[in-house]
Amino acid sequence: IHSVLEICSIISSIDRAFHANTWKFIIKQSLRHKSLIRNSLKHSDIYSGLCENILFSLESCLQLAEQMTQSGTQETTDYKLFQRTIKLCRFFANSLVHYTKEFIPFLVDSCSQLHQTYLQIYSKFPPSLHAPVISEAHHSEIAREFLMALDPLLLHLLSFRPFLEVVLSKTSDLSPDLYLPQCRLLISVMDKLPSETQDVQALWNTGSQLPEEIPRMPLFTALFHSLQQCSGELSLPIVLPRATGTEQVEHSATFYHYVCIRLCAFITSLSASHFHLLECSLLETILASNMITTLLAMDAWCFLARYGTADLCSHHTFIVAYLIKACPADCYQVVLLGVLLKRLLFFMSSDHQVKFTELFPPKNPENLLLWQHLSLQALIPLLKHQVAHEIFIMGLAQCQEWLSNEKSLEELPQMNTALSALLSMCQTARETLEAGQRMVLVGAICKLLTVLHVTQVSSVPCLWQAFCLIFQLLQLFIQMLEPQVLIQVLTVQIALIQLNPPDHVLLAILDFLSSMGKPFIPPDFQVQVLSKLSSVFATLLACNNWLIQQNATEAFTQFAEETNHEEILPQCVNSEEIKSKVVGFISKTHHVEETAEARMERMKMENAVLRCHLLGGTADQPPALVVEPSPKRACYSPREAQYKSAVDTVEEALEAVKLLLQRGPPPTWLPKKLETLQMELNSLKNSIH
């Protein structure tokens, strides 16, 4: 058998049929004489040969499909060769499955290669950015013939501890293009794990427990960790089979949608003994800095709130509420927990909502910290009116108390909390306020605008937030504002813009401007109001920040549709380029549709930029304490893995620059910047020696 195995490497490129028959002989004889030769076979060599042949055959198959797609024709000869190559893929997949089933105890040293083979296979299919562009028909045929033949392999490997230790390794060093394939592999594991024994499920779900074990992550943690690295691909479509009567058809969903559905399905099968691991993983992910995985964890948690009992939903809601109250007010995790709490409140039963309001009554000032995050639309009608009234009374009292006292800036954060709670109440239950209450509230807010000084924002950062909240509250009651107040608001906004404020301040200003077409402006005040208004719009429409520019365009469009003062519209657009963008947006002009290849290249560049940003964010963090001994198996050290990740990111960034140079002339500053980077590279190189 070993002699025939050596022959295989020679004839592989000469005769495919002979090559396949030779492998068929190797597998058949190995299985037939298993009891006699299992301890003598070179299992690693056989396994390595099968994996290499699978990847080579698949690559050939995809190249043929890509050529047919690019030529736009499907010649009989090409298609027959394509079909023969698929059959070869299927043969090697079946051989790998049979060999694994019979000799799995001997495959310890091959687990790493098998893991890499899985990742390489998944990287060849959408939504991977490195997948070749082939027709849907060819993709379906490959999936039906090859991937389905390979599918049973995972069932044999789930209970094999060395394999799961490789897949869930804490020290695995994946290249950027393999994180999405890792996600797909983990999702496949989640699909099949419920049919395994409790012991096997425990191995995957719990992670390493003892110091002498090879460090591994729990399955949930591994999935979220991988998703952090491929946020761009989550919006891309993935083609999935769907049962319709007695047939199966294909439908498309985004990869995020697919992951979310599979994760929620896995949660329904989770053992009660592992439930705390799910809760910990979801909470840790929400408190992390990656917005995509935070959103996925929230979606999964909300599914849990609907799927589980009312008591479980209530229990989680109260825990999140207590966590928010325990965190410092300026901690960014408070915002994330607030979003989760807002969503969970919608799923609470009416009895539990009553209990929530009794435990955290808005009439208690310290509970406004919670209510600023919540939507009163989640509450039953009777409770909604009660809570809205209590928030109005307490929030207004906090503002009036600050105004009537020494107006200490140290107490401004508490007043901001009151304003934020009032804003949340007005956005979701404004109809509960009577006309007199609205007048009182608007009067208090206008008074705040008078006493707050723009010149102090640089030394008192919480003033930015105060101005944002004031603008947002006044927008809700903009038709009640006197012309003098409108002039005052616009004057303050002009002064703030000159101080280069944070983006969230500019967004609050734009929210206010979008409603400026609604109030009636008396003729005596039109010149002052409209001149200031056009000045603010002109400045923000010309902003280079794409986020501000987009929101400015949307705000200007809404204003243009509602205003009776069309004469000032040209004054807001002070260049032909901006005018063209605004007109295109208003007329809903479609841009040239992006090709699949162009989209993939663009997303590769975006991923490289995002990876640089994330790498920079983690580089400043202190290294974690090592509390586990070094694993016996050779692997990259965490520091070496960081170096490799950083260098991979630099390489991707250089590739992105090359692509940009191919598309058009570079900016004038690029050569000088490249010289600076070259000097830095030389300096780094010299520092190594």
For residue range 327-379, list pLDDT tens digits in order. 887 888 999 999 999 999 999 999 999 999 999 999 999 999 999 999 999 99
Is pTM beyond 0.85 here? no
Contacts of 352 (CB under 8 A, 6+ apart): 310, 313, 314, 317
Residue 625's pLDDT band, with cuts at 50, 70 and 90, is: very low
Q: Looking at this protein, which amino acid is placed at residue 417?
A: T
State what percent of residues in the chain have pLDDT above 90: 56
State what percent of residues in the chain have pLDDT above 70: 88
Q: Residue 340, exposed/middle/buried by CB under 10 A (0-12, 13-18, 19+)?
A: buried
Whole-number Cα distances in Å, 324 to 340, 620, 660 = 11, 26, 45
pLDDT at 618: 47
Res 210 pLDDT > 90: no
Res 623 pLDDT > 50: no
Provide φ and ψ at 246, rounded to 5°. -100, 0
Cα distance between residue 50 and residue 23, in whole Å: 9
Nearest C-alpha neighbor of 416 from the set 448, 443, 389: 448
Whole-number Cα distances in Å, 429 to 233, 366, 380, 382 = 38, 21, 12, 12
pLDDT at 581: 85
Cα distance between residue 597 and residue 594, in whole Å: 8
pLDDT at 615: 64
For residue range 246-288, list pLDDT tens digits in order. 444 455 689 999 999 999 999 999 988 899 999 999 999 999 8
CB 541 within 8 A of CB 586: no
Q: Which helix (H) or strand (E) holds 138?
A: helix 136-142
DSSP-based three-state secondary structure for 273: helix
For residue range 116-141, list pLDDT tens digits in order. 999 999 999 989 988 898 888 898 89
Average pLDDT over residues 418-437: 96
Query: Which residue(s) pair with 216 in the sheet?
Result: 169
Cα distance between residue 480 and residue 477, in whole Å: 6
CB 389 within 8 A of CB 415: no
Residue 38 DSSP class: T
Supply the DSSP string of 461-514, one letter for each residue.
THHHHHHHHHHHHHHHTGGG--HHHHHHHHHHHHHHHTT---HHHHHHHHHHHH
pLDDT at 483: 95
Q: Looking at this protein, which amino acid is placed at residue 188?
A: S
Whole-number Cα distances in Å, 115 to 128, 176, 262, 631 = 17, 16, 21, 19
